[in-house]
Amino acid sequence: MNKVNLTINGIQLEVPSTYTIMDAANVAGIELPRLCFLKGINEIGACRLCVVEIEGFRTLKTSCNITVAEGMVVKTNTPRVQKAIVTNLKLIAGNHRFECWKCPREDNCELLRLLRMYNIENDYQEDQTGTFEIKERIVNESKAMVIDSSKCVLCGRCVSACVYYTGLGILNYNNRGSNTFVGPALNLPIETAGCLYCGKCIQSCPVGAIKEQDGIEQAISYVNNKEYYTVACIAPSVRAAMGEEFNYKFGKNVEGQIYAALNKLGFDDITDVNYAADVTIMEEGTELIHRIKKHLAGEEVALPMFTSCCPGWIRYAETYYPELMPNLSTTKSPQQIQGALIKHYYAKKIGVDPKQVKVVSIMPCIAKKFECDRPEMENDGLRDIDCVLTTRELARWIKRNDIKFRDLADYEPASPLAKYTGAGVIFGSTGGVMEAALRTVKDIMEKGHEHQVDIKAVRGMKNIKEATMTINGIELTVAVVNGAKYIPEMVKRIKKNPGKYAFVEVMACTGGCINGGGQPIVPSYVAETIDIRQVRSKVLYTADKNSTFRKSHENSCVLEMYKEFLGEPYGELAHKLLHTTYTKRETYPIDD
């Protein structure tokens, strides 16, 4: 690779010729301010905060998209540069509604960080009627998320991220000039605009212009109402990320402290969705076996079977590939299974009226808010889940109550619905559902044999992974997709090779739930230095490796539940409570 020599603030550097000035500055240990920049995703120089002086150029240049050149001399800290940065920050601040005390990004807002760094006075918005008049506030919201134009800084990061991560381009700029705002085309309702609720726009936004629909007050109302028996449950990947909200290093498993925090918040009972992940494998694995046996018997059956635990993927299939709905596993997601079992099995087991039970789930995903609200997620007048909080929301609730999270001693829930195997915990990472399912399917179909537990061929962050396994003499090809952008490629492969694939895992978020839209937000300037997916994923696979039991059908509490209540996996009662149907999802037509 060709290299060039340049000087930045008197520091001589040799860097690859493909580097931008910002890249070179990073090598020199110089952090340049930026707001619109997302490496490899949004490099348009719109915010003009990363401007620098280059010897020989009359005007300031944006460092994020100017490539280095031999002999280039750059200065990032001249009075002229500093004045430009301060002026641009004031202009941005002048059009931003400040409600920092209640904003979900109060602790990690990139704009607020820069305003503090440069000691900006809000000259243009002192009385809301200054030089730059605040624009009309446009709010587009659904049960899952909120887009608020009054907070938007028009950086374009969400627009680019939607294309980069999903390939859909749901978000765009509407109107022109001072009336520009970001939202779905024609400002269609976000619920019917084709959005998956993957939350990549939320993670990409530098401020609080896009956020999850807040559920904290609803959860508090349940806990404070003594007529209710409140049960909390946490998703597999939450334990791998929550520590980030309390200044732990990336990759810290804080499971015991989460349980302790939930106990201090006042929940009557604490369970773990890992338990339901094990149940999901019992149901989904049995369903897969039934489909394979029917196929081998010459019966018509929908193969490959797709996993159904990712609500973003379910929205994608219902909206863009309704012809694939018969291929979706009918098994509910672990979140919904946990809620159904808490109300229809566990409540009676502990002598509580199911109608008084309120289940609050802690999820890495904003699409789970949509999922719990689906009309299908109810039996005998009982909703499976009553309220969903993201990992971030639980962290805010803990902070609001001034609970010293880092000082909490580990707590272990007593509920049998908090017991899980290693197979349950890896659900949170791409390939985890597939691996957990294959561990059990192989054991069931090859009775009496012990098998290798680790199935590494389906692990890793590759966008599409394929593997072939021989189970009971049958060669099965499976595939794993992570990232909505790559779903069309997988569908193309399936249609091009009918009969090749038996089972396909799909997760809308790259990396899986560990990188879900409700997880702690990693600021852009930090995300450039770490692959958070790998770090969080390692937490789950370490927990799996250290587990005494690593196959879902070895969970004694799950087996006891089937013996006492459901009878058998994929049976009549299991179908009623733990399985569901899907519906073609209509979007607003857009005329050409």
Q: Give the domain CATH number at 189.
A: 3.30.70.20
The answer on pLDDT for 242 being more than 80 is yes
Strand arrangement, sheet containing 11-16: 11-16, 3-8, 72-75, 51-54, 61-62
Same domain? For 536 and 450 the reply is yes
Contact call for residues 136 and 152 (beta carbons, < 8 A): no
pLDDT of 126: 52
The span from the CA of 46 to the CA of 37, in Å, is 8
Examine the domain organization and report whether 141 and 186 are in the same domain: yes
At 414-470, the pLDDT tens digits run 999 999 999 999 999 999 999 999 999 999 998 866 677 899 999 999 999 999 999
Within 8 A by CB and 6+ apart from 99, the residues are: none
Q: What band does 130 get if pLDDT is binned at 50, 70 and 90?
A: very low
124-154 burial, b for 16+ CB within 10 Å, e for fewer? bbeeeeeeeeebeebebebbbbbbbbbbbbb
> From the candidates 191, 244, 245, 287, which is the catalytic residue?
287
475 is an active site residue: no
Q: Rounded distance, CA 55 to CA 370, Å?
A: 54
CA gap 457, 480 in Å, rounded: 10
Q: Report residue 592's pLDDT band, with 50, 70 and 90 as the boundaries.
A: very low
pLDDT of 269 higher than 50:
yes
pLDDT at 123 (0 to 100): 65
Q: Check pLDDT > 70 for residue 589.
A: no
E-strand stretches of 235-300: 269-272
Quick one: 413 and 507 in the same domain?
no
Three-class SS string for 179-201? HCEEEEHHHCCHHHCCCCCCCHH
Structure tokens at 430: 């791409």
CA atoms within 13 Å, Cβ hemisphere of 181: 22
- Say if residue 227's pLDDT is above 60: yes
% of the chain beyond a pLDDT of 70:
96
Show the domain range for 65: 3-77
What type of residue sits at position 590? I
Classify the phi-psi angles of 402: left when phi > 0, otherwise alpha if psi is within -120 to 50, otherwise beta.
Answer: left
pLDDT tens-digit profile of 151-190?
A: 999 999 999 999 999 999 999 999 988 889 999 988 899 9
Closest CA to 441 of 479, 414, 470: 470
On the question of pLDDT at 395 being above 90, the answer is yes
Which position among 284, 393, 435, 505 bears the catalytic label?
284
Q: Is 368 a catalytic residue?
A: yes
Rg for the chain (alpha carbons), in Å?
25
| 329 counts as catalytic | yes
Q: Is residue 118 part of a domain?
A: no
Question: What's the CA gap between 251 and 254, in Å, rounded?
Answer: 9
CATH classification at residue 566: 3.40.950.10
Contact between 312 and 196 (Cβ < 8 Å): yes
Number of domains in the chain: 4
- Is the residue at 588 inside a domain? no
- The one-letter code for the residue type at 73 is V
Alpha-carbon span 363 to 335, nearest angstrom: 8
Same domain, residue pair 205 and 291: no
Per DSSP, the residues of 54-94 read ETT-SS-EETTS-B--TTEEEESSSHHHHHHHHHHHHHHHH
The one catalytic residue among 308, 329, 524, 537? 329
Q: Of 47, 103, 372, 513, which one is the catalytic site residue?
A: 513
Q: Which residue among 46, 77, 108 closes a domain?
A: 77
Domain at 241, CATH number? 3.40.50.1780
- How many C-beta neighbours within 10 Å does residue 67 have? 14
Whether 82 is in a domain gets the answer no
DSSP-derived secondary structure letter, 48: -
Q: How far apart are CA 300 and CA 386, in angstroms?
A: 38
Rounded to whole angstroms, the Cα distance separating 469 from 430 reads: 18
263, HSE (Cβ side, Cα atoms, 13 Å): 16
Residue type, 542: T
| Mean pLDDT across 353-375 | 98
pLDDT of residue 133: 53
Look up residue 171 and give its DSSP letter: E
Could you say which of 211, 332, 343, 368 is catalytic?
Answer: 368
Which two structure tokens, joined as six digits, stand for 97? 């509604």
Could you tell me the pLDDT band of residue 590, with boundaries at 50, 70 and 90? very low
Average pLDDT for the chain: 94
- Whether 381 and 411 map to the same domain: the answer is yes
- Amino acid identity of residue 86, one-letter, is V
Q: How far apart are CA 302 and CA 239, in angstroms?
A: 35
Q: What is the per-residue pLDDT for 243? A: 98
Domain check: are 252 and 384 in the same one? yes
Averaged pLDDT, 65-93: 96
Residue 105, in any domain of the structure: no
Q: Are residues 411 and 262 in the same domain?
A: yes
Measure the CA–CA gap between 427 and 244, rounded to whole angstroms.
20
Is residue 371 annotated as a catalytic residue, yes or no?
A: yes
Q: How confident is the model at residue 585 (pLDDT cuts 50, 70, 90)?
A: confident
**Nearest C-alpha neighbor of 8 from the set 70, 54, 64, 58:** 54
- Region for residue 92 given its phi and psi (left: phi exceeds 0; alpha: psi -120 to 50; beta: otherwise): alpha
* Same-domain status, 302 and 266: no
* Same domain membership, residue 259 and residue 144: no
pLDDT band at 356 (very low <50, low <70, confident <90, very high): very high
The predicted pLDDT at position 523 comes to 87
Nearest by Cα to 468 from 489, 511, 426, 497: 497
Q: pLDDT tens digits for 139-151?
A: 999 999 999 999 9
Residue 569 near residue 578 (C-beta atoms within 8 A): no
Q: Among the three residues 355, 385, 418, which one is the final residue of a domain in this structure?
A: 418
Question: Residue 38: which CATH number?
Answer: 3.10.20.740
Q: Which of 245, 283, 371, 393 is catalytic?
A: 371
- Please tell me which residue in 155, 158, 309, 509 is annotated as part of the active site: 309
Residues 7/13, Cβ–Cβ less than 8 Å: yes
For the chain, report the end-to-end CA distance as a whole number of angstroms: 46
- From 376, 378, 446, 466, active-site residue: 376
CA distance 313 to 482: 10
* Annotated catalytic residue 509: no
Say yes or no to pLDDT of 247 above 90. Answer: yes
Instruction: Specify if 109 maps to a domain.
Output: no
Q: For 196-224, what is the mean pLDDT? A: 97
Give residue-wise pLDDT tens across range 296-329.
Answer: 999 999 999 999 999 999 999 999 999 999 999 9
Class of residue 322 by CB neighbours under 10 A (exposed 0-12, middle 13-18, buried 19+): middle
88 assigned to some structural domain: no
The yes-or-no answer on residue 284 being catalytic is yes
8 A C-beta contact, residue 566 and residue 573: yes
Are both 305 and 349 inside the same structural domain?
A: no
Q: Could you say which of 212, 239, 258 is where a domain stops?
A: 212
Task: Give tens-digit pLDDT for 401-416.
Answer: 999 999 999 999 999 9
Residue 345 sits in the same domain as residue 361:
yes
Q: What is the pLDDT of residue 449?
A: 65
- Phi first, then psi: give them for residue 101, nearest 5 degrees: -65, -20
Mean pLDDT of 483-507: 97
Lowest mean pLDDT among 214-228, 439-453, 489-503: 439-453
Mean pLDDT of 96-103: 92
Looking at residue 591, what is its pLDDT?
41
Task: Answer yes or no: do 164 and 300 share one domain.
Answer: no
pLDDT above 90 as % of the chain: 91
- 156 part of a folded domain: yes
Question: Residue 571 falls within a domain, yes or no?
Answer: yes
